[in-house]
């Protein structure tokens, strides 16, 4: 990751995306982690900063190839980010020449495996299917929440609320997304996914991510969608999720939910010292 070497004037970063789900990545393995909530908000602004769906900060690890912390653009933290994990895995595979690497996140230690070119797979671990772990406010049926439309719920290191509808394009996601993100049943808020079952191996998905945005893709959301759809008896355990930004292959195996898809390095850059000085 030569583009992320230390820089005496400002802070180096990389911009990557997985299916249009975009990330700023800061490598703090050789320096003190500089990121605060205020910095995440400033960098995340798409007009006054760089803009991202999530910010990932890499630090040294004694149990994995790297420790990773995730931030949302509103300055809140995220326990998991599947597409960013794939992007970071791609960087580390290229950096080390290894066929597989491991990331320690709040979700646990996630293995990332090289597939072909820019395509990688990450094991996002087993879904959280106990109401306390999602988490929910009380004990309810996770396959049919007491919410209009009877959505399903699953945790993938962050909470997900999944609605099955006949036509995802007919959903006013900007209107309903924030309503369910802040529903009282989700004490830590939730990501909101709307899905359309195409057949038992294909799902169309749109997503509102916790933190207040519609995104073109959500890796942990795609994993949760595959779990909920199977739990509802609608699909097999191995499916392709068709997102706004492209397809993700999800395979719920005995050892966890594996997600496979493309990654893209877009550019490297340096946050100027003048910009960093404006952050309070």
DSSP letter at 152 equals E
> In the predicted model, what is the mean pLDDT of residues 157-165?
97
Domain ranges of the chain: 2-124+263-277, 152-254
Q: Tokens in use for 2?
A: 């030569």
> In the predicted model, what is the mean pLDDT of residues 173-200?
97
223 counts as catalytic = no
Q: What pLDDT is attached to residue 7?
A: 45
161 counts as catalytic = no
pTM greater than the 0.75 cutoff: yes
DSSP assignment string, 63-130: SSSEEEEEEETTS-EES--HHHHHHHHHHHHHHH--SEEEEEETTEEEEEEEEETTEEEEE----B-S
In this structure, CATH architecture of domain 2-124+263-277? Roll (3.10)
Q: What pLDDT is attached to residue 8?
A: 57
Helical ranges in 204-263 per DSSP H: 219-231
194-to-51, 137, 205, 206, 279 alpha-carbon distances in Å: 25, 21, 6, 5, 36
| pLDDT band per the 50, 70, 90 thresholds, residue 79 | confident
Cβ-count burial of 128 within 10 angstroms (0-12 exposed, 13-18 middle, 19+ buried)? buried
Fold annotation for 152-254: Diaminopimelate Epimerase; Chain A, domain 1 (3.10.310)
> In the predicted model, what is the mean pLDDT of residues 249-256?
97
The answer to whether the CB of 70 falls within 8 A of the CB of 110 is no
Q: Is the pLDDT of residue 5 over 80?
A: no
Task: Give the separation between CA 89 and CA 118, rounded to whole angstroms.
Answer: 10
Whether the domain at 2-124+263-277 and the domain at 152-254 fall into the same CATH topology: yes
Q: Tokens in use for 122?
A: 């990450």
Question: What are the tens digits of pLDDT across the range 33-75?
Answer: 889 999 999 999 999 999 999 999 999 999 999 999 999 999 9
Measure the CA angle with vertex 223, ends 175 and 128; round to 5°.
95
Task: Give the separation between CA 47 and CA 267, rounded to whole angstroms.
Answer: 17
Q: Tokens in use for 73?
A: 């653009």
Q: Is the pLDDT of residue 154 over 60?
A: yes
> In the predicted model, what is the mean pLDDT of residues 7-14?
82
Report the DSSP beta bridge partners of residue 262: 119
**Catalytic hit among 87, 161, 218, 223:** 218
């Amino acid at each position: 990751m030569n583009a992320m070497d230390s820089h005496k004037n400002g802070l180096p970063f990389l911009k990557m995306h997985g299916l249009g789900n975009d990330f700023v990545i800061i490598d703090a393995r050789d320096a003190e982690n500089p990121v605060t909530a205020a910095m995440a908000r400033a960098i995340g602004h798409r007009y006054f900063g760089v803009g991202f769906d999530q910010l990932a900060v890499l630090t040294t690890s004694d149990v994995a190839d790297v420790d990773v912390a995730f931030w949302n653009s509103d300055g809140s933290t995220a326990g998991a980010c599947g597409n960013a994990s794939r992007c970071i895995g791609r960087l580390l595979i290229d950096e080390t020449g290894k066929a597989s690497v491991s990331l320690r996140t709040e979700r646990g230690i996630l293995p990332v495996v090289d597939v072909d070119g820019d395509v990688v797979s990450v094991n996002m671990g087993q879904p959280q299917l106990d109401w306390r772990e999602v988490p929910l406010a009380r004990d309810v049926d996770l396959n049919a929440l007491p919410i209009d439309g009877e959505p399903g719920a699953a945790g993938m290191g962050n909470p997900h609320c999944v609605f099955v509808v006949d036509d995802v394009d007919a959903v006013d996601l900007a209107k309903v997304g924030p309503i369910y993100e802040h529903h009282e049943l989700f004490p830590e808020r939730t990501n909101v996914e709307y899905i359309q079952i195409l057949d038992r191996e294909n799902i169309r998905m749109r997503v509102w991510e916790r933190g207040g945005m519609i995104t073109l893709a959500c890796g942990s959301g795609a994993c949760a969608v595959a779990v909920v759809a199977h739990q509802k008896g609608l699909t097999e355990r191995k499916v392709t999720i068709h997102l706004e930004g492209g397809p993700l292959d999800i395979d719920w195996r005995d050892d966890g939910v594996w997600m496979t898809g493309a990654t893209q390095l877009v550019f490297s850059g340096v946050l100027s010292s003048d910009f960093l000085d404006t952050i309070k």
